[in-house]
Amino acid sequence: MKHPKIRRIALVITLLIAVPCAMLAHDSFMIADSWMPKIGERVNVKMVIGHNFPDGGILAMADKMKATLMSPDGKMNSLALTKNGNNQVVNFTPQMAGAHIVMSQYQFFSTRTKAGKTVNLPKSEVREPVDYGTYVSRSSKVIIGTGGAGVMKPLGMDLEIVPQVDPTTIKSGGLLPVRILYKGKPIVPERNEEIDVKAVYAGFQTDEDTYAFAGHADKDGMCRVKITEPGTWMVIVERRIPAADQSKSETELYGATLTFHING
């Protein structure tokens, strides 16, 4: 009889072989050029894909992205994506004090053909022999400013990291409790599944496999992230499950990131 840990390792190895490597190697996240803006000060939020936080490249799927700003009063406004040099950004100008949350989400299919090409269509629409298909849903949030209950409010993304306290109140050495939601409900790991919760601060990573914190969501979707340094942080969660419609893809891959700034 195999030990449960060995079974989990075998499952992870199988998934790493089956899922296209490009889907595993990068996180999409947002980074602001001002973390505590004054009222009337324009804030630019850069859309990034990469694996050496906070560095990264241009987000290829930006045409599929929807970005929204939630103001401290709870009002929602759509944000237009624009090109700024080699980056894609959204921007806004705070009209009131308090925390502003920018969120973005995009979905697409990634199908690998027998010839080795990657096509952004479901398997059923690809007109050549198919090797493997993945449905991808990625969501990102960034918290700018401080104060208000809005930072603890779920915003309805497929996979979402919801702080249970305002991150700007956490000091270096403290714990940030977060709840992981899947389709709006606390994530409940399936059998032999662990929901990894990772975090990194700007300047920590030297390669894509190093993290300042690594933990797991519990049965209530909760995890307490250890904040070890001041600065800009990103929390990362990913979930990979068998696709509901196998005619379109074998796998559904959900990713979520949350970025924020710790002052001290």
pLDDT digits (tens, 9 = 90+) for 115-141: 999 999 999 999 999 999 999 999 999
Q: Per the structure block, which two tokens stand in for 167?
A: 């991150």
Q: Which of helix, strand or coil describes residue 33?
A: coil
Q: Look at residue 8 and tell me whether its pLDDT is greater than 50.
A: no
Which pLDDT band holds residue 102 (cuts at 50, 70, 90)? very high
For residues 66 and 62, what is the distance between their CA atoms, to the nearest angstrom? 8
**Ranges of each domain in the chain:** 4-262
Q: What is the per-residue pLDDT for 100?
A: 96
Q: Per the structure block, which two tokens stand in for 66?
A: 């929807």
Neighbours of 7 (CB within 10 A): 12
106 or 160, higher pLDDT: 160
Q: What is the per-residue pLDDT for 206?
A: 67
For residues 184 and 194, what is the distance between their CA atoms, to the nearest angstrom? 19
- % of the chain exceeding 90 in pLDDT: 66
For residues 56 and 139, what is the distance between their CA atoms, to the nearest angstrom? 16
Mean pLDDT over 11-27 rounds to 40
